[in-house]
Chains A and B, each alone.
Chain A
Amino acid sequence: MAAKNNYVPHHVMVVDTNRCIGCWTCAVACKEVNNEPLGYFWNRVLTTAPNQSTTAKAPASDNLDVPWGTYPNCELAYLPVACQQCNDAPCVKVCPVQATFRRDDGTVLIDYNRCIGCRYCMAACPYGVRIFNWGDATYAPGGVVGYGKEYSTGGRLVFTPERPKGVVEKCTFCVERIDVGELPFCVEACPMGARIFGDLNDPESQVSEFVNNGGAEQLHPELGTNPNVYYLPVARRVPGES
C-alpha cells in the first residue's frame, strides 16, 4: 500500500482507553515480534485513573492494578504507552548524528548502524519510551523470535533481531509490517480491539474519524511534540454524580 505510486500515508494509531483491560497482551506481543531481550519493554501498560495524563495525578499505589478510592467508589483505567511517534520529536532534534530520524509517513526510527550511544534522546524524550542496549542481551529461553530478520528503510538499518551493544532502540510502529500493508503487531494482538491503526491522510479512515471528530487526545499536548499516537478518553459517569 505504501510503495504504490509514491503515495505517502500518514500513519497514526488510536488507542481506545474505554476498551483497554490492562492485560499486557500488546506488551508481550511486541516483545515477541520484535525479539526484545529480557528487561526490555518497548510497550507497557500503565495503571492510571481514567483520563489522566502520565504525570497529572499521584499514583494510587506503586503496584499494578490498584484502583483509586474506597469501595464502592473506585476508579481504575489503563494507559498503554510506547513511542508516541511525535511529528515534532525532541529525540530527533537532540540526536547529534541524525541516527534518530522521522520518516515521511510520520514514523520515528533509529539507525542501529549510526547511533553512537550518547543517550541524549533518552534524556530528551518526555514519555520515557526509549531503551538502551546496556550489555549483551539475554533472551528468554525458548522465546519466540518473531520477525527474525534485519529490516532497512531508505538504506538505514532500523531493526535487527540480534541487538548490538551500546545503541538505543524503541517502538518502530512495526515498520517492517506496515511497509507491506500489515498492521503493527500490537494492533493485531489486542484482544479487545482497543488499538486502531490507519492513514490520517485518508479522510474516510477510522483513525481520521477519531482524530478529527471523535475527541482523540495526545499525551502531553502542552509540550508541542504532536504525537501520532492518540488516546480516546474513557467515557464514563463520575462516581457520586448523577
Chain B
Amino acid sequence: MATTTAALPARATRTVRPIWAWYAALVALMAWGLGAWIDELHYGLAATGMRDVVSWGMYIFTFAFFIGLSAGGLIMASSAEVFGIKALRPLSRLGVLSAAACVAVAALMIIPDLGQPFRVINIFIHPNWTSPLIWDILIITIYFVFSVVDLYLLQRHAAEPSRWRNVVRVLAYVGLPTAILLHSVTAWIFGLQIARSWWNTSLMAPLFVVSAVLSGTALVTLLALCAERYGKIELAEDTRRWLRGFITVSLIIDLFFVGCDYITVLWGNVPSDRSALNLVLPGGPWAWLFWVEWIVGGVIPLAFLVVPRLKKLPGALGLASVLVIVGVYAFRIELVVLGFINPLTQYPPGNAVGTYNPQTSSFQLVGRYHPTWIEYGIVIGLVALFAALVTIGYKSLHVMGPSPDAKHREEPAAAVGKAAS
C-alpha cells in the first residue's frame, strides 16, 4: 500500500503536463479520423482501397482484432474469480475497463464500413435472424453492457469487499462464457460461409477464442506495465508469472491451430484451398504475413517467454506482448483479405471491380487491396479513442487494485488503504 499512497502526490504534481500533451495528441488523432470519415461520407466508399473483389478491408480486420483484444481483460478478471487465481485479481478492473473500451471501439469500427451508415437503424427494424451479423450485434451489445456493469460493480466491490463479494463472483461466472461466445460468434461471421473455403472451417471459432485470449492478455499486460511505469504501481512477481503463463500457453495453442489449418490444406491439396494458402506461404505475394505471424509474432515472443536467460531480461514480457499483438493483427489481415483475394472464379476475366478507371481493366482475376489514407486515418482515430477511453477510465476510476501484497493479506485492510488514498 505504501507504494501507491506515496506515489500519489508525486504523480499529481509531476505528470500534469505530459498527460495533457498525451490528451492533446489523442484529440488530434481523433480529429484526423473524424475528418477522414467526413471525407468518406462525401465520396462514398470509393475513397477506400476496397472494390468488388476485395470488398472487406481494414475496417473489418481491425474490427475482428479489437473484438479479440477485448477478450483478455474479461477472461482474466473472470478467471481470477472462477479459477481462484489471486495474483490476477489486482488486474480485474483494468482488464474489464480495457474490455469495455475495446468492444466499444470495435462496434464503432463497423460504422465507416457501411455504405449507408444512416440506415443502421434498419438492423433493429428488420433484423434477419439467420444472419451471423445480427447475432454478433446482439452479443457485442450484451458484452459491452456487461463490461460496464461489471466495471461498476468491481468498483463498488473494491470499496466494500464484503458486501459485493457474491455479486462479483456470479458476474465472473457469467463473464467467462459471454466472452467465449463473443469470439465464437465473430468467428462465425467468416467460418459459416460456404463461398470461401479459406474461411469455411469449424476451427474458426476455437482459433478466434484462443487468439483473443492471446492478444487480449498481451494488451492487459501492456496496460499494466504502462501503469507500473507511469503510475508507480508495482506488479507482483506472481502476477507477472500468471500473465506470462497465459500468453505462453495461448500463443502455443494459437500457432498449433493455425498449423493444423495449414497441414489440412497442404495435404488435401484441393486447388481452391491451395491457391489461397499459396498466397501467404513463403514465395507468395503475401508471404510477409506468414513471417510476421510465425517469426515476429510466434518464435521470437515465445523465446522471450520461455527461454530462462531471455525471460529474465527487464523488458522481456513487454516486448513479447507487443510482438504477439502484432502477430495476431497479421493473422486477422491474412484471414479477411486472403479470403477475398483468392479468386472465386479462376477464369478470365474474373470479377468486375465496380469502379471505372481508364488506365486499368474493369476486371480482376486475383484481388488487390491497398488501404487508402482515409482508412488509415479512421482506424488510427479509433485507436486514439481507445487510448483516450482507457486513460480517462484509468485516471478517474483508479482501476489498478491496491498493491497485490496488501490484497494477499486481508481484503478489509486493502479497502481501508484505498479509502485513505
Contacts and interface: CB of A to CB of B under 8 A. Distances in A.
Q: Do A and B come from one complex?
A: yes
A44 interface: yes
Interface stretch (B95-103, B114-122, B213-221, B410-418): B114-122
Contacts of A57: 271, 346
B116 A38 contact: no
A174 interface: no
A66 B105 CA distance: 49
Interface stretch (B124-132, B154-162, B294-302, B310-318): B124-132
A220 B343 CA distance: 15
Given A165-B44, A166-B114, A94 B131 contact: yes
Contact of B195 (A79, A126, A135): A126
B352 A135 contact: no
Most B CB contacts (10 A, CB to CB) among A90, A93, A131, A166 go to A166
Interface stretch (A5-13, A109-117, A192-200, A228-236): A109-117
A215 interface: no
A56 interface: yes
B357 A165 contact: no
A134 interface: yes
A58 B272 CA distance: 9
Contacts of B271: 55-58
Most A CB contacts (10 A, CB to CB) among B47, B194, B271, B354 go to B354
A153 B380 CA distance: 43
A120 B357 contact: no
A131 B133 contact: no
B166 interface: no
B115 A132 contact: yes
Contacts of B119: 97, 114-117
Nearest to A136: B44
A128 interface: yes
A146 B281 CA distance: 47
Interface in A112-160: 114-120, 122-128, 130-136, 138
Interface residues of A, number: 61
B354 A40 contact: yes
B234 interface: no
Interface string A58-72: 110111101000000
Q: Secondary structure at chain B's binding surface: helix, strand, loop or mixed?
A: loop
A55 B133 contact: no
Interface stretch (B51-59, B78-86, B320-328): B51-59
B115 A127 contact: no
B357 A116 contact: no
B127 A123 contact: no
Contact of B352 (A44, A48, A98): A44
Interface string A22-61: 0000000000000001111100101110001011111101
A57 B275 CA distance: 12
A58 B116 CA distance: 38
Interface string B270-288: 0110000000000000000
Contact of B362 (A39, A114, A133): A39
Contacts of A126: 194-196, 344
B352 A39 contact: yes
Contacts of B189: 120
Contacts, number: 194
B195 A90 contact: yes
Interface string A68-104: 0000000000010100000000100111111100000
B37 interface: no
Q: Secondary structure at chain A's binding surface: helix, strand, loop or mixed?
A: loop
Interface string B180-196: 00000000011001111
A200 B353 CA distance: 33
Interface string B45-78: 1111011110110000000000000000000000
Given A54-B344, A97-B127, A135 B114 contact: no
A186 interface: no
B267 interface: no
B30 to A, nearest CB: 24
B345 A54 contact: yes
B176 interface: no
B201 interface: no
Contact of B194 (A55, A90, A118): A90
A86 to B, nearest CB: 11
Given A44-B349, A134-B355, A90 B114 contact: no
Contact of A54 (B45, B51, B346): B346
B340 interface: yes
B55 A132 contact: yes
B356 A37 contact: yes
Nearest to A131: B354
24 contacts: A38-B362, A46-B348, A47-B349, A54-B344, A54-B345, A55-B343, A58-B271, A59-B348, A63-B348, A66-B348, A93-B128, A93-B131, A97-B127, A114-B126, A116-B123, A123-B193, A125-B344, A126-B194, A128-B52, A132-B45, A132-B115, A134-B355, A135-B44, A138-B356
